[in-house]
C-alpha cells in the first residue's frame, strides 16, 4: 500500500513538472517573438536600418565591369510618378514621399546635403542645417523646449512636384548580373515669387538613397487608381524602377548637362533618345545568343529510322508511342 502511494505521488510531481516546463517554453517563445514584432513600427529604428541596409547597398562599383551614371528628372504630374506625390496632406497611416523625408530630417534620423551647381557632395561640410533650411525657404516653424516643430499644414509637400534622381546602370562581374540602382534623390520645390513671371524650380538638397532606403521599406504607397490596395512601398517603387523620368545629365568628363551639349529642344530630345538606346542595347547585348554556336534548324529535323529491338521471345518490342489504335 505504501509503495502504491509513493508511485502515485511521484506521478503527480512528474505531471506538475511537465506542465511547468511547457509553460516556460511557451513564455520563452513569446519573448523571442517580441523583438520581431517591435520592429514593425511605421519608421524603422536605427538598429533596423543597419540590419536592412545590406538589402539594397550590396552593389559595389569596384566590381562593375561596366557602369553608366545617369541623372533623371521625375515630373510628379506624370501618372507613373504620382505615387510619390499623393496624398498631398497626410492621411491616417499614409504620407507622401516628401513629407516622410521632411519628418526624418526634422528628427535627425537622416542627413541631407546642399545642392551646389547641380552636383552632389556627400561630405560633412556640405550637410544642411535644418533650421537654416527652413528660414531660407520660408517654412514656418516653432521652437518648443529647444526643439523645432513644423505642423503638417506648413510642410510644403504640395509644392514639391518633381525630383532629380541619380541612378547607376551596371554589370556586376561577381554576380554576372545587369542592374539599376538608385544612388541619390533631390526633391524640387516649384514656386513662383513676386519677382518672377513663371514658376521656378528650386532643388532643395541631395540625400543618398542608402540613407532613405531602410525607412522607405516602411513607406506605404498606392500605385494604381484602379487597384486601391496599398501593397507597395517607396523602396519597391525605386528598386523596381517603376518611375518615368527624362535624362537631363550623364556622368561625363566635362561635367556638362545635356542642355549644355544640345543647343535646341530637338537636339536635346535626340541626345536623350540616343542615351536611352545605348542603355537598352547594352543590356540586350548581355543576353544575346552567341551566333558562333551552330544551332540546327527547327523545320528540317532528320527523321530517325526505327529499328525495332528484339525481345527475348524473338518478336519485336512495340512501345506505347509506336502503337497505332
| Full domain range(s) for residue 81 | 46-254
- Within a domain: 141: yes
Instruction: Report the pLDDT value the prediction gives residue 65, as an integer from 0 to 100.
Output: 82
Are 267 and 251 within 8 A, CB to CB?
no
- Within a domain: 152: yes
Q: What predicted TM-score, i.e. pTM, was given to this entire model?
A: 0.70
Rounded CA separation 63/53 (Å): 19
- Within a domain: 321: no
Q: Specify the 3-state DSSP secondary structure of 135.
A: helix
Listed as ranges, residues in the chain with pLDDT below 50 are 2, 12-13, 15-46, 48-53, 55, 308-325
- For the chain, the C-alpha Rg in angstroms (whole number) is 31
Q: Are strands 177-191 and 207-208 parallel, antiparallel or unpaired?
A: antiparallel
- Which residues lie below 8 Å from residue 106, measured CB to CB, with a gap of 6+? 130, 148, 150
- Within a domain: 227: yes
**10-69 pLDDT tens trace:** 554 454 444 444 444 333 433 343 333 333 444 444 454 444 445 455 566 667 888 899
- Within a domain: 124: yes
Q: Specify the 3-state DSSP secondary structure of 85.
A: coil
Number of domains in the chain: 1
DSSP string, 13-42: HHHHHHHHHHHHHHHHHHHHHHHHHHT-SS
- Within a domain: 183: yes
Q: What is the chain's percent helix, strand, coil content, to nearest 5?
A: 35, 20, 40
Q: Specify the 3-state DSSP secondary structure of 65.
A: strand
Torsion region of 108: left, alpha or beta (phi above 0 gives left; psi -120 to 50 gives alpha): left
- Within a domain: 10: no
DSSP string, 261-284: H--SHHHHHHHHHHHHHHHHHHHH
- Within a domain: 60: yes
**55-95 pLDDT tens trace:** 455 566 667 888 899 999 999 999 999 999 999 998 888 89
Amino acid at each position: 500500500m505504501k509503495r502504491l502511494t509513493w508511485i502515485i505521488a511521484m506521478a503527480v510531481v512528474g505531471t506538475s513538472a511537465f506542465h511547468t516546463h511547457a509553460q516556460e517554453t511557451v513564455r520563452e517563445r513569446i519573448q523571442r517573438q517580441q523583438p520581431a514584432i517591435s520592429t514593425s513600427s511605421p519608421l524603422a529604428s536605427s538598429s533596423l536600418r543597419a540590419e536592412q541596409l545590406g538589402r539594397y547597398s550590396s552593389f559595389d562599383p569596384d566590381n562593375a565591369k561596366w557602369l553608366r551614371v545617369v541623372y533623371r528628372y521625375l515630373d510628379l504630374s506624370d501618372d507613373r510618378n504620382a505615387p510619390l506625390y499623393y496624398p498631398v496632406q497626410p492621411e491616417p497611416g499614409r504620407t507622401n514621399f516628401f513629407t516622410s523625408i521632411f519628418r526624418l530630417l526634422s528628427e535627425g534620423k537622416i542627413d541631407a546635403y546642399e545642392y551646389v551647381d547641380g552636383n552632389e557632395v556627400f561630405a560633412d561640410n556640405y550637410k544642411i542645417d535644418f533650421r537654416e533650411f527652413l528660414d531660407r525657404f520660408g517654412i514656418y516653424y516653432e521652437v518648443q523646449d529647444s526643439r523645432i516643430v513644423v505642423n503638417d499644414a506648413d510642410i510644403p509637400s504640395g509644392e514639391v512636384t518633381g525630383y532629380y534622381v541619380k541612378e547607376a546602370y551596371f554589370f556586376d562581374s561577381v554576380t554576372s548580373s545587369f542592374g539599376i540602382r538608385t544612388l541619390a534623390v533631390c526633391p524640387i520645390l516649384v514656386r513662383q515669387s513676386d519677382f518672377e513671371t513663371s514658376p521656378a524650380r528650386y532643388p532643395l538638397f541631395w540625400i543618398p538613397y542608402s540613407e532613405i532606403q531602410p525607412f522607405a521599406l516602411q513607406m506605404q504607397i498606392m500605385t494604381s487608381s484602379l487597384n486601391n490596395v496599398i501593397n507597395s512601398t517607396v523602396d519597391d517603387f525605386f528598386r523596381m524602377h517603376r518611375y518615368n523620368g527624362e535624362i537631363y545629365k550623364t556622368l561625363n568628363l566635362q561635367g556638362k548637362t545635356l542642355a549644355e551639349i544640345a543647343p535646341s529642344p530637338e537636339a536635346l530630345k535626340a541626345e536623350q533618345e540616343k542615351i536611352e538606346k545605348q542603355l537598352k542595347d547594352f543590356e540586350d547585348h548581355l543576353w544575346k545568343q552567341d551566333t558562333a554556336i551552330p544551332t540546327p534548324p527547327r523545320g528540317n529535323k532528320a527523321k530517325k529510322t526505327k529499328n525495332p529491338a528484339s525481345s527475348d521471345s524473338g518478336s519485336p518490342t512495340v512501345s506505347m508511342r509506336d502503337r497505332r489504335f
